[in-house]
A and B are shown apart, each in its own frame.
Chain A
Amino acid sequence: MNLNPGTASPNITNPNITNHSLSAIARALKNGDYSSVELTRAYLDRIAAHGGALNAYITVTAERALAQAEAADARRAKGESQPLLGVPLAHKDLFCTAGVRTSCGSRMLDKFIAPYDATVVAKLDAAGMVTLGKTNMDEFAMGSSNENSWYGAVRNPWNHALVPGGSSGGSAAAVAARLCPIATGTDTGGSVRQPASFCGLTGLKATYGRISRWGMIAYASSLDQAGVLAQNAADCALLLQGMAGFDPKDSTSAQVAVPDYAAALHQPLQGLRIGLPKEHFAEGLSLEVEQQIRAALAVFERLGATLVEVSLPNSHLSICAYYVIAPAEASANLSRYDGVRYGYRCERPKDLEDLYKRSRSEGFGNEVKRRIMVGTYALSAGYYEAYYGKAQKVRRLIKDDFTRAFQEVDVIMGPTTPGTAFALGSKTKDPVTMYLEDIYTIAVNLAGLPGMSIPAGQVHGLPIGLQIVGRDFDEARLLNVAHQFQQASDWHTRTPPGVSG
């Protein structure tokens, strides 16, 4: 089927259309350089050929993708031309998709097919996007390495012996390996920004309340927020435009107007005040990473920005507060997986207690069980005040730190992670060392702020990320800042070995 007679000729010189950014695809589809069906086929072929090694996808929805692509081409033929029309993407496998399995990386939901779409999915479907499939992830979004998936670990396209980061590791690996042009993710403590950093991508976590959480399977409700994994800031802007906005079905969705993100990209950075939290440039940060970050900051200075030291004095407490609050919320959020109404049920339960305990113990992986138990403990009688109560107060201190800093600066920058991607299996023994991976990203979730990670250098051939944090609902500025940097640098164009950019 060829809905677009102009596709055969001009771009035949560049058959590798799967290397295009979303912005480039949008232009090409508009110009008729290729059709959505052709592009979708190219991605499906590429996933079939290279997807297995990375284990980036849990489910590939080839037939539906082609049907969506045909529909998009038909809409375009009728004169529609919005930027997302016919553009393929992949969804992290915790966004519910009607009629397609949504596993959340868990045996518990291995056979779960939601009868509804997440709001994010519905909005992007309506915009004419093509879903290639559902990406691998740490089970219930609990992890920083993507090793906690029922479907196996995901590998980093830069080096298959390394982790891609997590929990949105499948989305990150898929975009980095050009198994999709862009993907959705979620970020509860760094789950978009850290894999973006490890895979050399531009990742954005929106302000809490910016993107609807309806249909997005919860890990920790007061921390979870959707985001984007993309090749560059301009792509992020386009996808965020399609995802953001008020949703009456989500009580925590903000009734705040959504600006035109693409239009804001081109503001010059003259006069921008960048805060550098001294606590993020202290011990624990690898010297090589710090050098790269400092070099990136120098680019911003050349673009007219001013660097200002700020302090987030309570940032060292963010891990503490997070590893009480997130498990506490998770312990309740995951109680619904009881083997009664849907999801995994153990064989031949002998009584109700047995049904509950075996279904949950067999259906959940170790990290999930560990966090459920930590959360249960933190909320239990006698410990509530010392743990949950205390963590809520610390959360206030952390948010106040940001509020104070943002009185002086427009954005806050620093490293996304203390180091580059680490080896598979190297941190699985001790959960605490794994948790420390998120030391710079977690405070942003506790405060509900928007954050990005953009490629800002390499150490030993591996990408490192620069984190940019903004005020509430100031995504437009983050994207602008990131885009201007990407106009003055080329780190975001670097691709893993074997993937040509």
Chain B
Amino acid sequence: MSIAAKDIDIIAHLARLSLTDTERSDALGSIASILQLVNQMQAVDTSAVAPLAHPFEASQRLREDVVTESDQRETLLTLAPSAEQGLFLVPKVIE
């Protein structure tokens, strides 16, 4: 498996990153060499191996259904780059 220039554009878009031409070719080169590195694992037979998603093999703890949070809008909106009338603002989205 190797990566092509068009793949870089697709994944950059999925990740919402914009790349200059230089960045694109750098990315292609370095990502290709990383993939070459990780591709070593393709040689291992793992057909009988169960995947391990998490090192902590326990089960999910449950939280009681209780409202513990109060209104923090005033504090949290101060972090926002743009907010008005209690809303976070982004450039107009046309659906």
Contact = CB atoms under 8 A, between A and B. Distances in A.
A393 B56 contact: no
Given A335-B16, A447-B55, 4 more contacts: A223-B55, A254-B56, A349-B91, A432-B34
A391 B41 contact: yes
Question: Dominant SS at the A interface?
Answer: helix
Nearest to A348: B91
Contact of A393 (B51, B58, B90): B51
Interface residues of A, number: 74
Contacts of B3: 377
Interface string A422-456: 00000000111001000000000111110000000
Contact of A372 (B7, B17, B51, B81): B17
The 3 closest A-B pairs by CB, nearest first: A448-B55, A392-B51, A345-B81
A255 to B, nearest CB: 8
A448 B56 contact: yes
B27 A341 contact: no
B53 interface: yes
Contacts of B40: 316-317, 320
Interface string A54-72: 0000000000000000000
A252 B60 CA distance: 8
A397 B44 CA distance: 10
A209 B56 contact: yes
17 contacts: A113-B79, A251-B60, A254-B58, A314-B44, A320-B38, A338-B16, A340-B88, A344-B81, A350-B91, A351-B91, A373-B31, A376-B11, A376-B14, A386-B1, A393-B51, A397-B46, A430-B33
Interface stretch (A6-14, A170-178, A355-363): A355-363
Contact of B46 (A338, A342, A377, A394): A394
B21 to A, nearest CB: 13
Interface of B: 1, 3, 7-8, 10-12, 14-19, 23, 26-27, 30-31, 33-35, 37-42, 44, 46, 49-56, 58, 60-61, 63, 72, 75-76, 79-82, 88, 90-93
Contacts, number: 165
B59 to A, nearest CB: 10
Contacts of A251: 60-61
A115 interface: yes
A387 interface: yes
A338 to B, nearest CB: 7
A253 to B, nearest CB: 8
A208 B53 CA distance: 13
Contacts of B75: 115
Given A383-B1, A447-B55, A372 B15 contact: yes
Residue with the highest number of chain B CB atoms closer than 10 Å, among A350, A389, A432: A432
Given A357-B18, A361-B18, A377-B3, A396 B42 contact: no
A341 B88 contact: yes
A386 B42 contact: yes
Given A254-B58, A448-B55, A377 B44 contact: no
A352 interface: yes
A396 B52 contact: yes
Interface of A: 112-113, 115, 208-209, 222-223, 248, 251-252, 254-255, 314, 316-317, 319-321, 323-324, 331, 335, 338-345, 349-358, 360-361, 364, 366, 369-370, 372-374, 376-377, 380, 383, 386-387, 389-397, 399, 430-432, 435, 445-449
A360 B31 contact: no
Contacts of A447: 55
Residue with the highest number of chain A CB atoms closer than 10 Å, among B27, B39, B81: B81
Given A320-B40, A377-B7, A370 B31 contact: yes
B41 A390 contact: yes
A429 to B, nearest CB: 9
Contact of B52 (A314, A344, A399): A399
B58 A323 contact: no
B51 A395 contact: yes
Nearest to A370: B30
A449 B55 CA distance: 8
B49 A393 contact: yes
A352 B37 contact: no
A341 B80 contact: yes
A209 B30 CA distance: 33
Nearest to A323: B38
A363 B87 CA distance: 23
Contact of B31 (A223, A248, A255, A374): A374
A323 B34 CA distance: 8
Contacts of A323: 34, 37-38
B55 A392 contact: no
B93 A352 contact: yes
Contacts of A399: 52, 55
A208 B80 contact: no
Contacts of B30: 370, 430-431
